[in-house]
Structure 1
Amino acid sequence: MTTFLQLHLLTTYPPSNPNRDDQGRPKSAMLGGAPRLRLSSQSVKRALRMSDAFQQGLAGHLGQRTKLIGNVVREHLEGQGAKTEAARKVAETVAAAFGKIETADKTRPDWVQGTTLAFISPQERSFALELADRLAAGEPAPNGKELAKAVLRTADGAVDIAMFGRMLADNPDFNRDAAVQVSHAITTHAAQIEDDFFTAVDDLKKRDEDAGGAHLGEHAFGSGVFYLYACVNCDLLVENLGGDAALAAKGAEALVRALATATPSGKQSSHAHRPRAGYIRAEVGQDAPRDLSGAFFTAVTGGDLLAASVERLETMAAQIDRAYGPACEAAEVMNVAAGQGTLAALMAFAGAAVGRGNG
């Protein structure tokens, strides 16, 4: 049976705008008839991948999402003395393994760019450069599936690809199912978007001249306690990493640290929002996963919204267990305000959960 690691987090954000919509305002959602602030799962996963927990803790085991792998190949060949036109042709051939190539831009004729973002592992990047060297030396180019097999892999050491998956429309055999599911984070209580009217002053304007601002603007923000849920398929994570259970466990530990400390960075220089999770509940077991968002379908109210949210979440977990039977076999909790648990203990719990699922 499959082993699941489930993570439930409550994090208090100050006035901020970490994840904006197309009008520059904080993203939002309606839940239980009440307006909530929202952080999209895409923005959360980007924050996780860019966090120190990932970039430092998993260095050498992270992929890159890019349309520009062709330019990497071209620049590599040019650095070895190849002429630009010859390098560009080889780069187009190699980059086609990751997806269709855009028509050459007249303003940048040497530019090689794909039509869609491709999630590329360090191993695949190396294979692409090796193939480019062989083609530049005169080796015939492989066609179709042979080209894909020369570059792409279904499992490798890229932890973020193993966690969050990828889709290659032109080579679906090398798609990767995500081992980690991440929810949209929503406030546990009703929350309104506020507007800030601001001005900027011209430093060189004399005081006896027009005293008004040199620039007028408007900025939206919000604040609240956000609930976030993540579910890790421990067995699939190891499978996506080619059976490397030790690396999978290291990835799970990094995931917990990043979830607790990383945040989408929109307008961060304006608000300096750097919150840390105030409450984390980690669970491991083989029962079907379930999130606890139903605890907040009716908006939380009261003076201490974080404490009330913790109580709601724990009550919901107990109610589900009572009705369906235990949803997990073991749990670890960190409640900062109550002085319960530590991040180090949660990370160790997550690493052991991955090992347990594949031991």
Structure 2
Amino acid sequence: MNRYLCLHGLTTHTAVLLVRDANGRPKELPFGNAVRTLLSAQTERRADRTYLREQANLGQGPLAQYAFGMRTREWAPLTARELVKWQWDEHAALSMAKEALAGLGLNFGTKINNHHLTKVLIFAPEDTAAEAATILEQHKAEMQQWLTRVTEERDKAARNAKRSKNRKKSPEEEGAEEADEKVDIPPLPTAVKQKLLSAFAPRDALDIALYGRFLAEIAESPNVDGAIQTMGSFTVGPASTVDDFYSSADDAKLTRRRESALNVFDDPGAGMTGYQSLCSGTFYSHSVVDRVKLRRTLAASTGWDAQEVEAAANAAEAAFIDAFCNAVPAAKANTTAASGTLPNLLLAFSSNRPHNYASCFEKAIETAPGGPAASLQAVRRLLAQHHMIIRKCGIEPGRVLSYDLDTEAVLDELRLTGDLSCQVTDTLDEFINPTPLSSPSATDAKRTEVAV
């Protein structure tokens, strides 16, 4: 099995704002001889991961029967909500949940609006709150005694802080004040701690295996090195941005105008005006799945046998290809309809090392009146790059899929001239699970396919 599944895509977006910078404008990236519009890797990964979860929740896709993770700061309130189902008092449940998670090493906010939220997002299996609540219920008496000791320590620290507040401090004491405010709470009972660690372990959450997690606050809980690499997408041509002026009508004002033509109290202007930045262009995207790492992670975290690990890994690969094709960031979805966009071209192949083709777009693609569109020039350039890598590196040809009429014509042309090494697939199912060609014709003898 080749270790890396390499995915490449070209997608044309028109008048969108899929991600913005701190000033509300499209992100940009200087690359080659031009500044490009950038779609950050974090945005793409979020869109892909959300798409995988939504499909599974609908009972669709290869991962419909598998568990997922949840990334949130609300594990204490979620655990408390589960404890209430065990007939716990709501206030006592929240206090117990927060202190138990703090006992694991999680840090919480210090302000009124976030003191029950962890300081960082914690990526854990989606049933972690239910598992943690069950553990706390099973050890209720022991944990209530532990919580009493914790409360006493916190009260003692608060009294000491109040006494020291009014006396004059030396410079050394002032420098150590922040450290003194930290309360050394009694350690969690060993059995409870081990069970809670298991609840927060990655276990069988497929998206944690795919995307990984870094949980520095709980030293005993394993981190996961993600199996997916994602490059930020960028336009194949120079950045193309417009500041779109908009005006919004005030419905109440319009109603009064209709009722009285002589209303002199209303400002005749619009209810609100402003600008929004929009961008257009053909974006090159690239992702890689480390198939070996994915299988190792599943084997280490799930306890499944080799057959179960292989089935889950194959399902995860298929689902990710689906997401790479269909997932679109949801920013301004209602005012741009970007979520309905499909790629101009998809390319997939496997190799024993990743292959990033960003360099073939270092020279920005320029368009001229009456000349070929940037997307078609990008298709030819990407396929030419892949054709060269096949020849020089001996990798498998892979397969392509298009959702664009003009790109389909380019594929037909390249196939007839013998310059297309890939297998052309017609549906996403064929693209995900290609079948080897049994008797290729003379015109497309180079169209070989080795199933990933």
Residue 190 of structure 1 aligns with which residue?
238
Any unmatched runs of 5+ in structure 2?
Answer: 147-187, 300-305, 410-423, 436-450
1:164-218 deviation digits (Å, cap 9, x = unpaired): 1000012355100010111101011112221011111112221655432111111
Contact 1:99 1:116 in 2 (8 A): no
Q: Does 1:334 align with 2:340?
A: no
Shift of 1:104: 5.8
Distance in 2 (alpha carbons) for counterparts of 1:5 and 1:320: 15
Aligned-partner residue type, residue 206 of structure 2: V
Instruction: Say which of 335, 344, 368 aligns to 1:270.
Output: 335
Q: Does 1:87 align with 2:87?
A: no
After superposing the two structures, state which structure 1 stretch, 336-345 or 15-24, moved more.
Answer: 336-345
Moved over 6 A (4+): none
Distance in 1 (alpha carbons) for counterparts of 2:363 and 2:116: 51
Residue 43 of structure 2 aligns with which residue?
43
Query: Cα gap change, 1:107/1:197 in structure 2, threshold over 3 Å: closer, same or farther?
Result: closer
Q: How many residues align?
A: 346
Instruction: Say which of 268, 271, 277 aligns to 1:211.
Output: 268
Aligned-partner residue type, residue 282 of structure 2: V
- TM-score, scaled relative to structure 1: 0.87
1:264-321 deviation digits (Å, cap 9, x = unpaired): 11111111112111211101122x2121011110011233111111111111122334
Any unmatched runs of 5+ in structure 1?
Answer: 351-355
Contact 1:5 1:234 in 2 (8 A): yes
Distance in 2 (alpha carbons) for counterparts of 1:27 and 1:316: 27
Residue 353 of structure 1 aligns with which residue?
none
Distance in 1 (alpha carbons) for counterparts of 2:229 and 2:239: 25
Query: Cα gap change, 1:221/1:333 in structure 2, threshold over 3 Å: closer, same or farther?
Result: same
Greater RCO (Cα-Cα under 8 Å, separation 6 or more): 1
Aligned-partner residue type, residue 248 of structure 1: A
Contact 1:74 1:87 in 2 (8 A): yes
Aligned-partner residue type, residue 363 of structure 2: T
Cα-Cα RMSD:
2.6
Residue 241 of structure 1 aligns with which residue?
298
Structure having the higher Rg: 2
Contact 1:90 1:135 in 2 (8 A): no
Using the aligned pairs only, state the percent identity: 27
SS at match of 2:433: helix
- TM-score, scaled relative to structure 2: 0.70
Contact 2:109 2:119 in 1 (8 A): no
Q: Where do 1:33-112 residues align within 5 Å?
A: 33-51=33-51, 52-56=54-58, 57=61, 58-59=63-64, 60-96=66-102, 100-103=106-109, 105-106=111-112, 112=116
SS at match of 1:29: strand
Distance in 2 (alpha carbons) for counterparts of 1:107 and 1:292: 46
Aligned-partner residue type, residue 133 of structure 1: E
Contact 1:5 1:231 in 2 (8 A): yes
SS at match of 1:184: strand
SS at match of 2:432: helix
Residue 23 of structure 2 aligns with which residue?
23
Contact 2:28 2:37 in 1 (8 A): yes
Residue 356 of structure 2 aligns with which residue?
291
